[in-house]
Structures are given as structure tokens and as C-alpha cells.
Amino acid sequence: IVWQTPANPDYIFRNGRYVKPYYFEFISHAKNRWAGKTIVDLFADEFKGRKRDYYDSAVKSGRIQVNGKTVSVSYRVQSSQKISHFVHRHEPPVMASNVTILHEGEDVLTVCKPASVPVHPCGQYRKNTVVGILQAEHDLAPLFPIHRLDRLVSGLLILARSASQAEIFRQQIESGLVQKQYIAKVVGEFPEEEQVVNLRVNFNAREGRSTVENGKAACTKFTRI
């Protein structure tokens, strides 16, 4: 049996955009300290998110392979071998039905990112992302996001068509040559005078929140419309 991720997934539209469940290959290369361990012991010791019985079953069914071949549960791993784990992915749905292309140039692509859609593969999302949708439905690949918008935020998103062009844009953003404006609806009465927040923002991906200690320089100006 060959477990393979589809290049272009099947999307299902029903009060949002769903991705038909598919197999995804997680790849790792055996570290030196893994050498000599049985394949089941390796997964049970190193990847504790699942129980040992699951890994035992995955090896027997061929969903865990070594160098592209099925092995027995007693197989002992050698260093540098390619280890594949094929997982049946069920991505969460997103509310948007499409990603609107506003400008398609030779170097950059500008789109209107809808709310609820992540920019690039992350967490549980892979095909239900701006990059994944543009590749599957418009054959636009590779794309290199030069900035990001949070999953729940909508707005203009610029993607480079090459890694070199993406680096040029990133340098312009870091040097302050690019500005972004957001419009937000707030609860309560916002002050009439301009509010300036000039702090060093640090984003903690593990906790999913930002703090203002030991981070990158950032200046944000809030103005009531």
C-alpha cells in the first residue's frame, strides 16, 4: 500500500470550505541516539502524543515506513534512515469560499485574504490555507509570504514569486519603508486623540500571545475614525 498526499486536494463547500481527509507524510531522519531502537520503541519514546498500541498498529499496516519500505515491529533503526509516518489528516474548515487575486505580477502576487484562513501551513491547517488554495485552484506555486496576517484577520496580502524577491520585501519592511493599516471595530468608546504604542513586541508561539519584553521594535499608532 502506498500512502500519498494528493497534490491538489478535494475541497467541499458546505457553509464554508472543507478539505476531504487525506494522508500526509511526516518525515524525519533517524538521529544517532535512535540507532538500535526498535521502530515501535522509537516512536513510543520520542513521540508521546500517541499510545504505543497506535504505533504498533501503524507499523503493521504500513503507515510507518523506513526508507520507503514497510518493516516489522521488531525492526531496529539505523542512523540517518528516512522514517515516514503517514497520518490521516482532517483539517478544520474555514468560512471563506475563495481567495480573491487582486494583482498578479511577475515578481509578486497580491490577494485579499479572507478571515478564518491561515496564510501558510501551520498547526492543523495545510491545504486550507491561502498558499494551499492558490496552488490547488490557480496553479500558483511556489509562493513566499513576505508578511502575515493572523488567521482571523482579513486584508491585503503580498506574496513573492521567488525567495530572492521575498527577501527584498522583508528588508523594506524591516527598514520601515512599508506601512500597514488596519481598520478594527472596538467595544466601548475609543479616545479621540491619537494613541501611540512604541514597545518591543515578542510573540510566544507556544502560548499564542504577545508580550512587550525583549522583543522586536514595533511602533503602532491608533487613530479613531
2 located within any domain: no
- Per-residue pLDDT at 215: 78
Q: What gap in Å lies between CA 196 and CA 9, rounded to an integer?
A: 44
Per-residue pLDDT, averaged over 76-99, amounts to 93
For 43-84, how does the pLDDT look when each residue is reduced to its tens digit (9 = 90+)?
999 999 899 999 999 999 999 999 999 999 999 999 999 999
Q: Positive or negative CA dihedral for 120, 121, 125, 130? A: positive
- Per-residue pLDDT at 181: 84
Instruction: Specify the CATH number for the domain of residue 108.
Output: 3.30.70.580
Q: Positive or negative CA dihedral for 28, 33, 38, 44? A: negative
Residue type, 114: P
Residue type, 131: V
Enter the DSSP assignment of 91: P
Residue type, 24: F
Q: How far is CA 30 from CA 38, 70, 80, in A?
A: 12, 16, 5
143 located within any domain: yes
Q: Where are the beta strands (DSSP E) in 114-194?
A: 144-145, 155-160
Structural domain boundaries, residue 38: 22-89
Tell me: do 104 and 171 sit in the same domain: yes
pTM higher than 0.85, yes or no? no
Instruction: Specify the CATH number for the domain of residue 70.
Output: 3.10.290.10
7 located within any domain: no
Tell me: do 162 and 111 sit in the same domain: yes
* Positions marked active-site: 150
8 located within any domain: no
Q: Which helix (H) or strand (E) holds 83?
A: strand 82-89
Higher pLDDT, 93 or 201: 93
**Tally of structural domains, the chain:** 3
The shares of helix, strand and coil residues in the chain, as percent rounded to the nearest 5, are 20, 35, 50
Residue type, 8: N
In 3D space, the residue among 30, 167, 23 whose CA is nearest the CA of residue 90 turns out to be 23
Tell me: do 58 and 118 sit in the same domain: no
